[in-house]
């Protein structure tokens, strides 16, 4: 049984070979992908303009979320909340939008029931495209010789073995959790992990997360500044947990040696 499980581990793409600990990424066409991305965005803009005015925010949500990557970070939780509650939109933005367009029919900004799932679905597809943008952008980074040297370090080899155990599950998990930086996706690039699996893990992880986010903010009916505050707190939770975990071994070591922590200043 254990032998069969080992044989099912995901190896790098068949077109990829390992060099300096990283997969050879020369087979990945970055130009072809970003041409495809430009076509996707052009199509999304066209479809958005053809939609009834009340449904156009769905198109805006999709376009915005495709741009949020490692290189252009953003609080996706707040973006989803913006397209879930009209009250989540700051007043000065609403006033500006009223000047350039008729926003009275934007009923999707207050979705209920099945509409919440529709918002989550569109946003999840947008993030799936963003993950592919991330993948191809990072390919350019990891092709650099200086960066590839990192593949020979002890830390990378240790983390890479951890990633190999369950790559799809790890990618799905980091997409579901509100992590500020998803380092696991970087390992997916260095291993030339199949892009369709990366995209699928991103979609399956974000869909329930965005649906829960939409339901959460729709139920609370918060004002825009409270919505923003909650989103910032959610983003900081993983950072706080990591800080606490990093502090715990230090405290245990100080107790074992009998040396109290030094006071700052």
Closest C-alpha among 111, 127, 17, 115 to residue 63: 127
Cα–Cα distances in Å, from 94 out to 91, 101, 128, 200? 5, 10, 28, 35
What does the pLDDT look like over 198-226, one tens digit per residue?
999 999 999 999 999 988 888 887 777 78
Return the SS3 of 18: strand
Query: Each residue of 130-146: pLDDT tens digit?
Result: 999 999 999 999 888 88
- Report which of 77, 73, 72, 68 is spatially closest to residue 230, judged by C-alpha positions: 77
Pinpoint the alpha helices (H) of 143-260. Answer: 145-148, 154-165, 167-176, 183-190, 195-220, 224-257
Q: Which residue has the tokens 């970087």?
A: 186
The whole-number pLDDT of residue 22 equals: 82
pLDDT score recorded for residue 151:
76
* pLDDT number for residue 65: 94
């Amino acid at each position: 049984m254990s032998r069969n499980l080992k044989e099912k581990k995901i190896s790098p793409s068949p077109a990829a070979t390992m060099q300096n600990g990283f997969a050879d990424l020369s087979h990945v066409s970055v130009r072809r992908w970003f041409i495809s991305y430009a076509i996707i965005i052009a199509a999304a803009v066209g479809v958005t303009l053809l939609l009834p005015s009340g449904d156009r925010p769905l198109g805006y949500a999709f376009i915005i979320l495709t741009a949020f990557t490692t290189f252009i970070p953003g609080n996706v939780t707040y973006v989803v909340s913006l397209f879930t509650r009209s009250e989540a939109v700051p007043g000065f933005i609403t006033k500006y939008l009223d000047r350039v367009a008729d926003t009275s029919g934007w009923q999707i900004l207050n979705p209920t029931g099945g509409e919440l799932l529709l918002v989550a679905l569109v946003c999840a597809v947008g993030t799936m495209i963003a993950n592919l943008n991330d993948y191809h952008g990072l390919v350019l980074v990891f092709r650099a010789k200086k960066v590839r040297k990192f593949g020979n370090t002890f830390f990378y080899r240790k983390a890479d073995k951890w990633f190999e155990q369950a790559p799809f599950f790890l990618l799905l998990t980091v997409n579901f959790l509100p992590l500020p930086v998803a380092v696991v996706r970087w390992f997916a690039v260095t291993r030339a992990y199949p892009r369709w699996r990366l995209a699928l893990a991103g979609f399956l992880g974000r869909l329930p997360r965005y649906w829960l986010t939409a339901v959460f903010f729709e139920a609370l009916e918060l004002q825009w500044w409270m919505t923003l505050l909650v989103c910032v707190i959610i983003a900081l939770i993983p950072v706080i947990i990591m800080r606490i975990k990093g502090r715990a071994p230090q405290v245990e070591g100080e107790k074992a040696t009998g040396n109290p922590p030094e006071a700052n200043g």
